[in-house]
Amino acid sequence: MKIVQLLTLLFFSTSILSQSTGKVRLIVSPPNSIIKLDGQLIDPSNKSRNIFFELEEGSHSFEVWAPYMELEKHDVIVVSDSTMLLKVVLKKESDFLAYRNEIKSYYRGKTLSWGLISGATILAVGSSYYLFNPKIRKDFKAAEIDLEGRKDKYESSFGVNEVAEARKNYIAAKKNTEKAQRKNIAQKAIGIPLTLASIGAVYWSIKRLKKEKATKKKPTYQINNPFSEVKISPEVESIGMNTYTGFSLKLSF
């Protein structure tokens, strides 16, 4: 009789305990964010996005945070013998978003400065090569010599056919000389100012880069860690512009 009473008591006690708890299914993004339940850190070894908690009925609080994200707090009421869903999607911290815009602007400025220097240098080299290219002057001198030879032959020719052929060759040589002369004039008229301008652009671009380096400092960002007991590793802090993607990052408790 006593054994039956004891078994009955155990049965009802188990039933009462089983009905006094409920489950909370927690889905977090980014995956493996740091979670606190009722002020206690949850073991970070669970890498799943879907986490189940069996809790006593009543009020419970969840705190979810990840580096570069805003802390989120959620209070839930657990009902016995039921499962509720809590989905938490963290937003990027406003300070981090501002820092990311600043660092992008900083690198854009540096890229622009180096782009200007590179472009101006290429232009300076190209214009200098054009200005001092000996082929243009050699072609002009060769055309003048050929013209003189054609002229002498034309003036010393006899016979209708010979004179006509010499005259034709002389006119062609004259046109070729005029063309070579125009190239020779253009080499100086275009090459000199273009070379000077491109060299000036290189000097100005370098001066601009030095001024930016002296006046514009690289933006910095420090993680605002609401969980003082969680230590953020240096590699996490050095992510900078990268988007937080998960706990391949090292955290220690």
Q: What is the mean pLDDT of the chain?
A: 83
Distance CA 121, CA 129 (A): 12
Say which residue, 113 or 236, is predicted with more confidence: 113
For the segment 96-125, the average pLDDT, to the nearest whole number, is: 91
**Are 56 and 6 within one domain?**
yes
Instruction: Flag whether 198 is in a domain.
Output: yes
Half-sphere exposure (Cβ direction) of 215: Cα atoms closer than 13 Å: 7
User: 99 with 192, same domain?
Assistant: yes
The pLDDT-based confidence of 215 (bands split at 50, 70, 90) is confident
Task: Give the pLDDT confidence score for residue 250 in this predicted structure.
Answer: 45
Residues 46 and 148 reside in one and the same domain: no
Of the chain, the percentage scoring pLDDT greater than 90 comes to 53
148 and 88 share one domain: no
Q: Does residue 160 sit in the same domain as residue 80?
A: no
The residues facing 24 across adjacent strands are: 53, 84
Q: 33-74 pLDDT, tens per residue?
A: 899 999 999 876 655 556 889 999 999 999 999 999 999 999
How many domains does the chain contain in total?
A: 2
Domain edge (last residue) among 93, 112, 147: 93
Distance of CA 124 to the CA centre of its chain: 29
Query: Same structural domain for residues 177 and 116?
Result: yes
pTM, rounded to two decimals: 0.61
Q: Is residue 14 part of a domain?
A: yes
148: pLDDT strictly greater than 90:
yes
Task: Report the CATH number that the domain containing residue 31 is assigned in CATH.
Answer: 2.60.40.1120
Same domain, 106 and 198: yes
**Residue 75: its H or E element:** strand 72-78
Is 239 part of a structural domain of the chain?
no
Q: Is residue 128 domain-shared with residue 200, that is, in the same domain? A: yes
Q: What is the pLDDT of residues 114-140, one digit of tens each?
A: 998 999 999 999 999 998 999 999 999
Residues 54 and 153 in one domain: no
- Structural domain that includes position 124: 95-215
- Residues 89, 99, single domain; the answer is no
